[in-house]
Amino acid sequence: MALPKVTPGTYNYGAYANPTPIRYKGGQEAIGAAIGQGLAAAGQMIGQKKKEAKLKAKQDKAVVDKIIADTYSRASKEAREQNAEQVMNFANQAGELELQFRNEEIDRDTYIKKSTAIQDGLQNLNLLQELEKNIDLEDVSPSIIKNQRSFENYLLQKSLESNSAKRIWNGEEGEWYIEYEGVNTEKLDVEEVKNLNAIPDEAYETRRIKASEIAANPKNFFEIQTKIDFNDEPMVDLFAKTAKVFDKTMGDMYKTGVVNGYQVLDEDAAADAFAKSAQVNAIYNKIGKDVAEDILDEEFTGSEEQEAEIKRAISEQVIGYAEKQGNKAPVETTARPEKIVDQAKERTGMDLRERAVAFDRIQNLKPGESIEIKFTGTNDFRKENYIVGRSESGQIMFQREDQEEPSVISQEDLIKEFGVQSLLVDQKAQQAGLKF
């Protein structure tokens, strides 16, 4: 069946189709007044809300500033001076967190959790500053570091001291990390490292260590073992004190030499003897291994031969601080032998051999013969040249150049003048067959 055809009709909708305009009493002026009053009321509400918003912002700022100041002040003086940026970061985080909580942007549990993390960060930062006070690199250089563990600790402390190490806060873990450039000791020979510039680039590698681990075992990270040096102050003090014991107990026994009239110490003999003492043995038990490795450059074996070598090295150092000079050396009582003066030589100018030859020639003169002898002595033989001869009757005659006639000299006076008495005694003894 076909649907009926619908066409617009002439239905009268009455007042709905032709509404009558509303007429206000008072005309257009009343309408303007009503609108003005409404706008004024709305303006007052908006102004009030702005005032309230400004007041709240001011109050919020006061609270946030107080939280920031309180948080900043809880950090140690060292932390504020050396890590000012990080401390202020914590303080600002605490202020922002307080504002979020006041505005109900985060719940109470989140607020407490994050607030606690900030407190932990500051507290651990303070702890980190205390740990860094353990750094002691005075007189320490890579060339005297004893082992690899100590070398690692040296690099960590050097990084902290120079502020090249990074201090990284992990809020989720509530942990501080120290990040620095360490060295893979498998890629270098620590014994050959003389300074940091000698480390090859490929040996460096980044290391991260929890600050809590350092706090739990600071010795593992700050202790540096160095090679002993006999010139170090502790060694000098030890050897000097031990030397005083040697001076009291053995010193005088080994002052056997004499220099400038004073007794002096025989250092070699003293070192040999003192090496066997209880004092040296005690030092050996304390640093014997170090002496072998650091001074003698040997691997410590503990053998008897090595022990003797180490004790001798220790003893030599001790003796080096011992008193070297003793009392004035005693004067020898043995009288010095008197100098024997050859009177005949002074008188004649001839030594015994020359006089013996001359005397023998005179003795062998035959009657009527003569010889010339040059004397330089005194007494009767003042002149250099003498003519000595034998007269026809056998007498010994001598004549100076200024004499006109010769003089007679007896055999006894001739023997005395030539000082040949001892020679004549020896000759008689030989003739008699006597042996001396």
Give residue-wise pLDDT tens across range 345-361: 776 677 777 777 888 88
Res 240: pLDDT: 94
Residues of the chain with pLDDT > 70, as a percent, come to 72
pLDDT tens digits along 60-93? 777 778 878 877 777 767 677 667 777 788 788 7
Q: Is the pLDDT of residue 330 over 50?
A: yes
The Cα–Cα gap between 163 and 129 comes to: 12
CA distance 132 to 270: 48
Q: Check pLDDT > 90 for residue 275.
A: yes
Per-residue pLDDT tens over the stretch 95-122: 888 888 888 888 888 888 888 777 777 7
CA distance 31 to 24: 8
The most confident of the ranges 37-51, 61-75, 123-137, 220-234 is 220-234
pTM metric for this prediction: 0.46
Q: At what angle do helices 304-320 and 267-274 cross, to 10 degrees?
A: 130
**pLDDT tier at 9 (50, 70, 90 boundaries)?**
very low
Q: What average pLDDT does the segment 367-390 reach?
A: 68
Its sign, for the CA torsion 323, 327, 328, 330, is: negative
Q: In what side-by-side order are the strands of the sheet with 370-374?
A: 370-374, 385-390, 396-400, 407-408
The alpha-helical segments, DSSP class H, found in 252-365 are 267-274, 278-290, 304-320, 343-348, 352-363
Predicted pLDDT at 174: 76
Return the DSSP state at 83: S
Which of the given ranges, 42-51, 87-96, 212-221, 308-317, has the highest pLDDT on average?
Answer: 308-317
- Contact (Cβ atoms closer than 8 angstroms) between residue 232 and residue 140: no
Rounded CA gap, 61 and 58, in Å?
A: 5
pLDDT grade for 42, boundaries at 50, 70 and 90 = low
> Could you give the count of Cα atoms lying within 13 Å of 320 in the half-sphere of its Cβ?
13
Residue 136 confidence class, pLDDT cut points 50, 70, 90? confident
Question: pLDDT digits over 159-187, tens only?
Answer: 888 888 888 888 777 788 888 888 776 77
Q: What pLDDT does 65 receive?
A: 80
* Mean pLDDT calculated for residue range 382-404: 75
Quick check: 4 pLDDT over 90?
A: no
pLDDT of residue 23: 54
The DSSP bridge partners found for residue 44 are: none
Q: Which of 137, 130, 133, 177 is nearest to 153 (CA)?
A: 137
Q: Residue 311, Cβ neighbours under 10 Å: how many?
A: 21
Q: Which of 91-105, 295-309, 368-382 has the lowest mean pLDDT?
A: 368-382
What are the φ/ψ torsions at residue 241 (nearest 5 degrees)?
Answer: -65, -40
| Rg (the chain; Cα; Å) | 61
**Across the chain, what does the average pLDDT equal?**
76
- Structure tokens given for 86: 């990080």
145 DSSP 8-state letter: B
Q: Specify the pLDDT at position 41.
A: 58
| Residue 16 pLDDT exceeds 60 | no
